[in-house]
Amino acid sequence: MASENADHAVWLRGIEKQFPGVIACAGADLRVRPGTIHALLGENGAGKTTMVNVLAGVYRPDAGEVWVNGQRCSFHSPADAIAAGVGMVYQEFRLVPTLTVAENIVLGSAPRLLRSVEIEERVAELSAAYGMVADPTRPVWQLSMGERQRVEILKSLWRNASVLVMDEPTAVLTPGEAAELGAALRAMAEGGRSVIYISHKLDQVVAFCDEATVLRQGKTVATVEDLQEVDLTSLAEMMVGSSEGGYVDRPPAMEAGPEVLSLQGVCALNDRGLPALIDINMTVHAGEIVGIVGVSGNGQKELAEVINGLRRPTEGRVTVKELDITGASPGDLYGMGLAYVPEDRLGVGLAPKMSVVDNAVVRSYRSQRQGIFLSITKCVKFCQSLVERFAVRVGRLNDPIAGLSGGNLQRLLLGRELAEQPSVLVAAQPSRGLDVQGVAAIQGHLVDQRAAGVGVLLISEDLDELLALSDRLLVMFEGRIVGEYGPDVTPRTVLGSAMAGKAPK
């Protein structure tokens, strides 16, 4: 066995890892050859970060094997992984701002008797070897994001990492810095090290990487031996591709009802202050499902947040049934008929430490009053009926929801949002991470809502789900809507091209 594995710098075999209510990795594999840059691809929630955290000793897998440089490893801590040669470059840098570049690099690993001048000299040599300019004497607080990242990489090299892991490294970089990073990674690969590179930016992936593994819903669904042989379109398709089963058929089209949601010239910034939405114009009518297609990170999250009052647009208007709701608070919006199933179910959607009852009533507690007081009896009754209607399997209603499975959490969330007959439902990744019955149940509810005259905006990374449920498809790329397509008349390849930014003009 060991000889077979000796060919690989990294072999993660059948990795399984579960978190409360979510299966993050469901038997995923990743093999990386020495001297290569290996892209780990997949949509948000596919399990990429969990996989590399298993490799970095942050998580212990529930099942599966970790091999590094031909050795079977059992990491109990990140220190074990570092000792085995795994260098993880975190997205949130873990540097001490007041220390110098050299001090940060050697922190925790400096041979005791080295004088600081010598350390600085060695750090300078190391940075020169990979073309990563970094003045060893400067304090880290003076550095740009790109420079800080270089320090993180140098820190791994100082500890002699043979495998470097970068999780979305260019998210914080300017295009120039990203190109420099690409050159530095190539120099490392040529020196015999391996790099695992996680990114949503497919053009960069193709420019920087040699081979790729694609994860979907915690499983490895494709491997690419030579990235130069595939085009962006097929890569995008592999990421969103088809998952097993559960698809509900949409009943035939109905006469489109009146407009219930409309966005006019909406622009918004992302968390880093860069444009995330650019001149978005779209409408959703009563009794229709509009699907948003796209590789994640192209503005979908910001779109859902702007509509639901969690992010302020910098320009433009959002209206629900002709009422201008731009800038209204999430609480007010619910009262105006807007229901929201966010992609972040536990957190934005539900509060994990609160009970089933409390989570069920947070949106509609005004209706559970007796006089001026909240009536516990009414709350419990409301929760019971919701749990029955949406088939949520729960233990005691007063227990925290944290122990519920993903499917039950999602049914509870959807039930709560739909309890007061909204006119618009925005559902982001509503079936992600659920088992087959869970997927079918959620999709069934979406179709029912459509039949009941609700306008549904469905944001999903699952192209099959979008094709099965949507009346119309809008493709998002780099913050814009780049095309509108009919689900029954559009080949997947056309959607794939549009998702990769190659929509016919």
Task: Give the binding site for Mg ion (CB under 5 A).
Answer: 48-49
Determine, following the binding rule CB under 6 A, whether residue 42 of this chain makes contact with ligand ADP: yes
Closest distance between ligand ADP and the C-beta of residue 78, in Å?
15
Closest distance between ligand ADP and the C-beta of residue 170, in Å?
15
Return the number of the residue (167 or 288) whose C-beta is nearest ligand ADP.
Answer: 167
Return the number of the residue (428 or 473) whose C-beta is nearest Mg ion.
Answer: 428
Determine, following the binding rule CB under 6 A, whether residue 50 of this chain makes contact with ligand ADP: yes
Binds 19, which of ligand ADP, Mg ion, none (CB < 5 to 8 A, cut-off by type)? ligand ADP
Contact range with ligand ADP by CB under 6 A, out of 16-24, 252-260, 287-295, 381-389: 16-24
Q: Are 177 and 146 in contact (CB under 8 A)?
A: yes
The Cα 153–Cα 148 span in angstroms is 9
The residues that bridge with 283 in the sheet, in sequence order, are 262
Binds 42, which of ligand ADP, Mg ion, none (CB < 5 to 8 A, cut-off by type)? ligand ADP
Binds 148, which of Mg ion, ligand ADP, none (CB < 5 to 8 A, cut-off by type)? none
Determine, following the binding rule CB under 6 A, whether residue 45 of this chain makes contact with ligand ADP: yes
Would you call 264 exposed, middle or buried from its count of C-beta atoms within 10 A (0-12, 13-18, 19+)?
middle
The Cα 56–Cα 165 span in angstroms is 8
Closest distance between ligand ADP and the C-beta of residue 20, in Å?
6
Binds 44, which of Mg ion, ligand ADP, none (CB < 5 to 8 A, cut-off by type)? ligand ADP
The Cα 448–Cα 373 span in angstroms is 34
Contact pick of 4, 19, 131, 376 for ligand ADP (by CB under 6 A): 19
3 state SS of 196: strand
Of the candidates 6, 1, 4, 17, which has an alpha carbon nearest to the alpha carbon of residue 55? 17
Here the tokens at position 204 are 């960069």
Binds 73, which of Mg ion, ligand ADP, none (CB < 5 to 8 A, cut-off by type)? none
The residues that bridge with 476 in the sheet, in sequence order, are 481
Return the number of the residue (337 or 433) whose C-beta is nearest ligand ADP.
Answer: 433
Here the tokens at position 314 are 């910098």
Closest distance between Mg ion and the C-beta of residue 50, in Å?
8
Residue type, 80: D
Binds 264, which of Mg ion, ligand ADP, none (CB < 5 to 8 A, cut-off by type)? none
Q: Which residue is nearest to Mg ion (CB)?
A: 49
Rounded to whole angstroms, what are the CA distances from 87 to 49, 57, 82, 502?
A: 14, 11, 6, 36
Contact pick of 8, 31, 38, 48 for ligand ADP (by CB under 6 A): 48
Distance of CA 451 to the CA centre of its chain: 30
Q: Please write down the HEC assignment for all residues of 240-297.
A: HCCCCCCCCCCCCCCCCCCEEEEEEEEEEECCCCCEEEEEEEEEEECCCEEEEECCCC
Closest distance between ligand ADP and the C-beta of residue 84, in Å?
21
With a CB cutoff of 8 Å and minimum separation 6, the contacts of 183 are: 131
Return the number of the residue (49 or 368) whose C-beta is nearest ligand ADP.
Answer: 49
The CA angle 53-56-59, to the nearest 5 degrees, is 50
Closest distance between ligand ADP and the C-beta of residue 289, in Å?
23
Closest distance between ligand ADP and the C-beta of residue 17, in Å?
8
Of the candidates 226, 251, 249, 223, which has an alpha carbon nearest to the alpha carbon of residue 238? 223
Contact range with ligand ADP by CB under 6 A, out of 19-27, 154-162, 235-243, 259-267: 19-27
Binding track over 408-437 against ligand ADP, x by CB under 6 A: -------------------------x----
Binds 241, which of ligand ADP, Mg ion, none (CB < 5 to 8 A, cut-off by type)? none
The CA angle 292-411-345, to the nearest 5 degrees, is 60
Radius of gyration for the alpha carbons in the chain, expressed in angstroms and rounded: 25
Binding track over 432-451 against ligand ADP, x by CB under 6 A: -x------------------
Contact range with ligand ADP by CB under 6 A, out of 47-55, 75-83, 285-293, 420-428: 47-55
Question: E strands along 135-192, which residues?
Answer: 163-167
Closest distance between ligand ADP and the C-beta of residue 86, in Å?
17
Counting every residue written for the chain, the total comes to 505
Binds 313, which of ligand ADP, Mg ion, none (CB < 5 to 8 A, cut-off by type)? none
Return the number of the residue (42 or 182) whose C-beta is nearest Mg ion.
Answer: 42
Contact pick of 22, 154, 260, 394 for ligand ADP (by CB under 6 A): 22
Closest distance between Mg ion and the C-beta of residue 49, in Å?
3
Determine if residue 115 is left, alpha or beta; phi over 0 gives left, psi from -120 to 50 gives alpha, anything else beta: beta
Q: Which residues bind ligand ADP (CB under 6 A)?
A: 19, 22, 24, 42, 44-50, 433
